[in-house]
Amino acid sequence: MDFLYKYENKIKHSDLDLYDRLSPWAILELFQEAAYTHVIEEDCGYSSMLAKNALWVLISVRFDYLDYKVESSVEVNTWQAKRGRAEFIRGYELLSNGKRVVIGSSKWCLIDKDERRILPASLAGSDISGTYIDLPEITKLIFDRPKELKDKVKVDKCLIDHNYHLNNCHYARMIYNAIELDKDYIKSFEISFLNEAVYNDEITIYSEKRDNCWYVEGCILDKICFKAKVEV
C-alpha cells in the first residue's frame, strides 16, 4: 500500500471563475475525485463501505491558494494524513506544470447508511496514514450569524449525490455567490458541514465581511446547515 496517491485531470473552462482563476467548486471537485479514487484503490471505496451499510461523509474542508493561474491540466497528490477513532484527516496538493497552486485538508467520517450515526474509523480497514507536507489547519468555525440575508437556495434533484444529500461541491458555489470579491483574491476557503441538506430543502444564506474575511452561514429552518470562512 502506498499512502500517497496521484490523480491527474484536465482543466475545463467551466473550472475557472469570471477572473479566470481556478474556482473553489472546481478545487472541491478535484479533492473529491482524488479522495474517491484513492479509497477505491485501498478497497474501502463507496461500494465496499456500502456493503457494510456505511457511507463516507465530509465533515469539513479547507484549502489555501498559492497561485491563481493553472495550465490545461493539474496533478492532485492526496494522502490520508491521520486516522483517529472516528475521523480521517486527508491532505491535498494541486500542481500545475510542476508548480504548486493549492494545498488543502479535509476531515471525513463514516456514518451508518440508515441511522446516520458515526461509525468507528477501523471499519475502513488498514490504516494507510502517512506524512507528506504540512497542511492548512482545519479549525472549528464559531461566529455569530452574519447580518445580511444574501440568498435562498432550493435543493433540486440535480444537486443530490449518491448519499442522497447535497454534494459538498455545490456549497462552494453558494458561498462564492454570497461574497463580493471585486479586486480581492481568495487566500483561503473553509467550510464546516453541520447538518445535511436533502432534496426539496431550502437553504437561507447569510454573509458578512469582517476585516479581511467573509463569514457565511446557511440555515434550513432553525438548523445551521453549514458555516464558511473565506479569507481575502
Query: With b meaning 16 or more CB within 10 Å and e meaning fewer, what string describes 102-122?
Result: bbbbbbbbbbeeeeeeebebe
What is the H or E stretch that residue 119 is in?
Answer: strand 118-119
Average predicted confidence (pLDDT) for the chain: 95
Helix (H) or strand (E) holding 55: strand 54-65
Report which DSSP code applies to 207.
E
Give the pLDDT score at 3.
86
Main-chain phi, psi angles of 83, to 5 degrees: -125, 120
Distance, in Å, from the CA atom of 143 to the CA atom of 46, rounded to the nearest integer, reads 34
Residues counted in the chain: 232
**Confidence class for position 182, pLDDT limits 50, 70, 90:** confident
Tell me the H-state helices in 122-218. 168-177
Predicted TM-score (pTM) of the model is 0.94
Query: Given a cut of 90, is residue 183 above it in pLDDT?
Result: no
- pLDDT tens profile 91-123: 999 999 999 999 999 999 999 999 999 999 999
**Does the pLDDT of residue 1 top 60, yes or no?**
no
Q: Which domains are delineated in the chain?
A: 4-124 (3.10.129.10), 148-231 (3.10.129.10)
The amino acid sitting at 143 is F
What's the confidence (pLDDT) of residue 69? 86
Phi and psi at 207, nearest 5°, equal -145, 155
